[in-house]
Structure 1
Amino acid sequence: MAEPDGTPDAQVKSTESPKVAFGTRLAEAMRARGPLCVGIDPHPGLLLKWGLEDSVAGLRSFSRTVLEAVGPLAAAVKPQVALYERHGSAGLAVLEELLAAAREARVLSIADAKRGDIGSTMAGYADAWLRDGSSLAADALTLSPYLGFESLRPALDLAAENGRGVFVLALTSNPEGASVQHVGGNQSVAKGIVQAAARENERYAKETLGSVGLVVGATVGTALNDLGIDLAAVRGPILAPGLGAQGATGADMRATFGDAYQAVLATSSRGILGAGPNISALQQATVETLRGL
């Protein structure tokens, strides 16, 4: 993996060949730039800190600035969909602009929408976020499996068809998550989700990395060992929020993820975004974060 030096590298393909599997494109981006995803989280307080109004205009300025600053440096960007939805249809229009700009800049995008439902409703979500030609289409989408992993089938299949990916919530670091995810001990709910993702990635056996990823918090501590979960067997990317402002360091993550660390895409949001709105400062914060991974 090349040492990040703050100099934008050659453009990494994101949608030039949309049928190339997402996992392979992500692995290429991680090798070229490092294993970092920058969250684009326009919290009202952060907009204020940047001197922006909590408005659609502020949202647009924030989004454009973050993409311009970190797009050439990070393997992916992850807009938090809820923080665009709170501005209504105009906010979603800004998100559409951001996703289009990321495609144009060949920056991989992960829509953090945590969608999960059944039947035609799940198919509708898949069509919105994973269909070629949709104005909301991202390279990957976060999903919630708590109506049953198989309820995600429309998204799993459409993502595979269109060279896109998914990240399924497996083991989150919020305290409430354990009340569901840890149930069952050595046969926990989280372990079942991880095993289901591993089976799903069998269709990507010839690819560098599977396109069915998992969301596992960088601050879950010993939970993986406690629950007997083998992330390395998944052969898919691990989206790990919690780097920086939430307290996790690169060393913590290497200890937590062990043999699966090479597949980990660390996510930092506030730890980098707090350096804005100056683009150079945002870039420096990104480079410093990469050096710690």
Structure 2
Amino acid sequence: MSPVPFGARLRAAMDARGPLCVGIDPHASLLADWGLSDDVAGLEAFSRTVVEALADRVAVLKPQSAFFERFGSRGIAVLEETVAAAREAGALVLMDAKRGDIGSTMAAYAATYLDPASPLFSDAVTVSPYLGFGSLAPAVDLARENGCGLFALALTSNPEGQEVQHAVRADGRTVAATVLGHLKAANADAASRGELGSYGAVVGATLGDLSSYDLATGGPLLAPGIGAQGATPADLPRVFGDAVRNVVPSVSRGVLRHGPDVAALRAAALGCADEVRTAVDEVRTPVERQGL
């Protein structure tokens, strides 16, 4: 049997648990805030606590690979344990690795995160399309084969991204619009069946009015920037318009700062998910609200 596509699993998880992604970002200052040492022991305690608190109740957990990689092989071992434990508890795991390369190297990156035989096998991974979207073909193909997803950087919230993403091509389209167009094409089959596609875009929630862009890619939109970066759930309809139904808001510090208390982490995450539900519900039609 073919695996259930990531887009379908993501839609079901958001409907059941709320449209929210929580980052697992064990940077040094946050470990210190939790009273943990900036070493592998602290990394392990932090990650275990986040998984215990949230993996059975939020839709998506997003480990930032760099914060584990900085501890070398022992840090990667903790990342492997974190991914496995989170998936076992029912969360979808989005590996935030932002990989991008060409040929056999891209194929190796894809196998690292999208091959069920890999110890870092995740439900989805972030990728960079800035060696040309076609360079991501090994990841697109393996994701399709194994029911996984991709989130390609499209309109990121960092100011430096504008020099590439807002650059205008010879055909008059911006680079970001081109990336969104490729994702829409990749999601066409799912869209024809009325399903959420598995190939998503990363679009910052802090960017303001994006009505000049076609965000209706048929796939999910990962929206970082909620909380510490200044965006709120109430901003989502203004930024994303009708595409807000497919938005997966991503929050890290806004939830993680409530640790290491498990109950406080849960309350913060569930409270944020409820705020997102309320904001999205305001733009849904009466029929959609009834689940028809």
Alignment coverage as a number of residue pairs: 273
Equivalent residue, structure 1, for 2:275: 292
CA contact (8 A) 1:238 1:265 kept: yes
- The percent of aligned pairs where both chains have the same amino acid is 56
Q: Normalized against structure 1, the TM-score is what? A: 0.91
Task: Please give the alpha-carbon distance, in whole angstroms, between the structure 2 residues aligned to 1:79 and 1:18.
Answer: 27
Task: Please give the alpha-carbon distance, in whole angstroms, between the structure 2 residues aligned to 1:195 and 1:139.
Answer: 23
Equivalent residue, structure 2, for 1:136: 120
Name the amino acid aligned to 2:133: F
Q: 2:32 aligns with which of 18, 43, 48?
A: 48
Give the direction of change, closer, same or farther, for the CA distance of 1:51–1:18 in structure 2 (3 Å limit): farther
Q: 1:86 aligns with which of 53, 60, 70?
A: 70
Find the residue that maps to 2:160 and give its secondary structure.
helix
Equivalent residue, structure 1, for 2:201: 214
Give the direction of change, closer, same or farther, for the CA distance of 1:127–1:207 in structure 2 (3 Å limit): farther
Q: 1:76 aligns with which of 60, 73, 89?
A: 60
Equivalent residue, structure 2, for 1:193: 179
Is 1:252 equivalent to 2:239 in the alignment? Answer: no
CA contact (8 A) 1:213 1:236 kept: yes
Which stretches in structure 1 are left out of the alignment for 5+ residues? 1-16
Task: Please give the alpha-carbon distance, in whole angstroms, between the structure 1 residues aligned to 2:42 and 2:186.
Answer: 40
Equivalent residue, structure 1, for 2:288: none
Offset at residue 18 of structure 1 (A): 7.8
Offset at residue 212 of structure 1 (A): 0.3
CA contact (8 A) 2:187 2:218 kept: yes
Is 1:26 equivalent to 2:10 in the alignment? Answer: yes
CA contact (8 A) 1:243 1:249 kept: yes
CA contact (8 A) 2:56 2:90 kept: no
Task: Please give the alpha-carbon distance, in whole angstroms, between the structure 1 residues aligned to 2:207 and 2:90.
Answer: 32
Q: Which shows bigger deviation, 42-51 or 196-205? A: 196-205
Offset at residue 242 of structure 1 (A): 0.5
Task: Please give the alpha-carbon distance, in whole angstroms, between the structure 2 residues aligned to 1:172 and 1:199.
Answer: 21
Alignment of 1:105-144 (within 5 A): 105-144=89-128
CA contact (8 A) 2:55 2:87 kept: no
Give the direction of change, closer, same or farther, for the CA distance of 1:179–1:52 in structure 2 (3 Å limit): same
Alignment of 1:222-233 (within 5 A): 222=209, 224-225=210-211, 228-232=212-216
Find the residue that maps to 2:167 and give its secondary structure.
coil
Offset at residue 206 of structure 1 (A): 2.9
Q: Normalized against structure 2, the TM-score is what? A: 0.91
Give the direction of change, closer, same or farther, for the CA distance of 1:189–1:183 in structure 2 (3 Å limit): same
Name the amino acid aligned to 1:191: A
Alignment of 1:159-170 (within 5 A): 159-170=143-154
CA contact (8 A) 2:20 2:249 kept: yes
